[in-house]
Amino acid sequence: MSEALEREFIRHELSEWAEVVEERLNAALSKHQVGITEELRKSITHKIIAAAATHQGSYQQIFSEAGRFVDMGAGRKPKGLQSESAKSLSIAKASGRKPKKWYSKTFYGSINNLINRLVNNYSAFVIQNLKQLEHER
């Protein structure tokens, strides 16, 4: 099978998987009641990067940086907390936020789904292309 067909297969599988991930991320925003939901929801997008010498395709998840802070529990200091005392506290305590794992658990939990798609659908893809080649001859 040609490299072009393999790259197309990978691009297609990444695109299909990316749509599912975006739906899951939006559902996680609602589930974890993230306060900046609408701004963050509008910023969630992805980018499929075409093949290069080092890889056959890649995926990039893009969203507002504020969403990462919510996921980590970092951000604003509690009112009345002096900056010196904040240095001695952990990041989560100093920020006054508890982490809301809307991104990390959702995204990284879906990577096995991508691996399964690539492994399981590749054989069907190869068979389909071989049948098409035989038909064309």
User: What is the model's pLDDT at position 134?
Assistant: 83
- Amino acid in the structure at residue 94: A
User: What is the model's pLDDT at position 129?
Assistant: 83
The structure's pTM equals: 0.73
What is the per-residue pLDDT across 68-82, written as a single tens digit (0 to 9) for each? 888 888 866 555 554
For a pLDDT cut of 90, what percent of the chain falls above it? 33
User: What is the model's pLDDT at position 35?
Assistant: 78
What's the first-to-final CA gap in the chain, in angstroms? 15
What is the per-residue pLDDT across 12-33, written as a single tens digit (0 to 9) for each? 999 999 999 999 999 999 898 8
Q: What are phi and psi of 77, to 5 degrees?
A: -85, 150
Cα 15 to Cα 44: distance, rounded to the nearest angstrom: 14
